[in-house]
Structure 1
Amino acid sequence: MPYHKNKRQAFEAAQQAFVQFQEAMENLHPEDADYGHHHKVAEQELDEAIQVIQKAHVTASEHQRKQLELYSKEIEQYKQELME
């Protein structure tokens, strides 16, 4: 049972990191005075999301892996937008 619990917790952490990164990206508006701050926060959330998702892959079930791969693909798209 602990293995199953860790698998679920790792996946939930990845989901949460992904959502937090999405929220950070939604706060990015180049015309805002505090754009630089929001950009830095988004970069930090990006790094964290990538790390958490990679860790979750280790214990993920097949279904969870598919979802994690979708998160990874979406993050890559955001990453390109963020680095422009």
Structure 2
Amino acid sequence: MPYHKNKQQAFQAAQQGAAQAENVFQQLEKDGSDYGIQLSHLKEEVNEAYEQINNALEVASETQRETLEQYRRDLARIVDEVNIEEQ
């Protein structure tokens, strides 16, 4: 059973990381004076979420794997949107 617990914990960490990155992205104030600081924080959150997702994928069930891949797509969308806005 410890294996199952680790699998669930890894999945939950990835879930929380993706949600946190999405939250920081939603609060990003593009016209704010501290946009650069916010953007740096967002990049840290996204990188951490990617790492958590990759860790979870190593032990994920098939159902979890599908959800984790969706989290990856969501993070890629955030990165794309921020990169477009920076140009």
What is the CA distance between 1:60 and its match in structure 2? 0.5
Identity %: 39
What does residue 21 of structure 1 align with? 21
Normalising by structure 2, report the TM-score: 0.92
Counterparts of 1:34 and 1:82, CA distance in 2: 15
Counterparts of 1:82 and 1:30, CA distance in 2: 9
What is the CA distance between 1:82 and its match in structure 2? 2.0
Q: Which stretches of structure 1, 4 residues or longer, exceed 4 Å deviation after superposition? A: none
- Superposed CA deviations along residues 10-37 of structure 1, whole A, max 9, x for unmatched, are 0000000001100110121111111111
Counterparts of 1:43 and 1:81, CA distance in 2: 12
Long gaps (5+) in structure 2: none
What does residue 58 of structure 1 align with? 58
What is the CA distance between 1:40 and its match in structure 2? 0.5
Counterparts of 2:60 and 2:77, CA distance in 1: 23
What is the CA distance between 1:83 and its match in structure 2? 2.3
Normalising by structure 1, report the TM-score: 0.95
Counterparts of 2:50 and 2:82, CA distance in 1: 14
Say what the alpha-carbon RMSD is for the aligned residues.
0.8
